[in-house]
Amino acid sequence: MIIVFSICGSCLGALLASYLSSSCLQGIFGTFLILVAIYMLSRKSATDEKDIHPVFAFHKIASGGFSIGFIASIVGSGGGILMVPFLHSMKFRMRYAVGTSTLIGFPVAISGALTYVLTGLFKGYAGTHTIGYVHWPAFLAITFAGVLFVPVGVKLSTVLPAALLQRAFAIVIIIMGMKMINVI
């Protein structure tokens, strides 16, 4: 159910983003990363110690899924940065939240990417090695590297403490956010 709302939000967010300038999107993305990093650094460290059952409330799933899909497509992500904390707040154990978020992120990313392709084609955008607003060489290179290193990430996530992973990830994304808004 959350996938449906996330896909709807993703399509709407990608449509809106196609009307924003590159510098506006860059500022939104950089600011978004910094805010997420600050949130991650300020909240209690993630753990897997709780043995509690997830709470499913339709209004939370609908509004959370839509909002996450919308924001994810504007900032160009599958939504995992937001989906993991959202699922964790619904009482998912951390590793289940990460795994579920990964699966949800796939159709969200596909729907957002297709919307970027279609809106770019509709607007007549024709860049080198692109279809619509999707740059295929970058997509293929990043996908290949991602698929190659997913097993390494999964292995590390099972052996390293969740708190260390949370802090390291937050530091990396705060640096990326600062680069995006030209602070460093």
**pLDDT at position 158:** 82
CA angle at 43 for the pair 3 and 90, rounded to the nearest 5°: 30
The secondary structure of 63-124 as a DSSP string is HHHHHHHHHHHHHTS-SHHHHHHHHHHTT--HHHHHHHHHHHHHHHHHHHHHHHHHHHHHTT
Q: Which of residues 20 and 91 earns the better pLDDT score? A: 20
Answer whether 107's CB lies under 8 Å from 46's CB.
no
Domains of the chain, by residue range, sit at 2-180
- Identify the band that residue 24 occupies on the pLDDT scale cut at 50, 70 and 90: very high
- Flag whether pLDDT at 12 surpasses 90: yes
pLDDT of residue 49: 53
- Per the structure block, which two tokens stand in for 148? 């190659």
Q: What is the pTM of this model?
A: 0.79
Please determine, for residue 48, whether its predicted confidence score (pLDDT) is greater than 70: no
Contact 21, 170 (CB under 8 A): no
Residue of 55, 40, 112, 111 whose CA lies nearest to 87: 55
Does the pLDDT of residue 64 top 80, yes or no?
Answer: yes
Q: Please, how many CA atoms are within 13 Å of residue 73, restricted to the half-sphere of its CB? A: 34
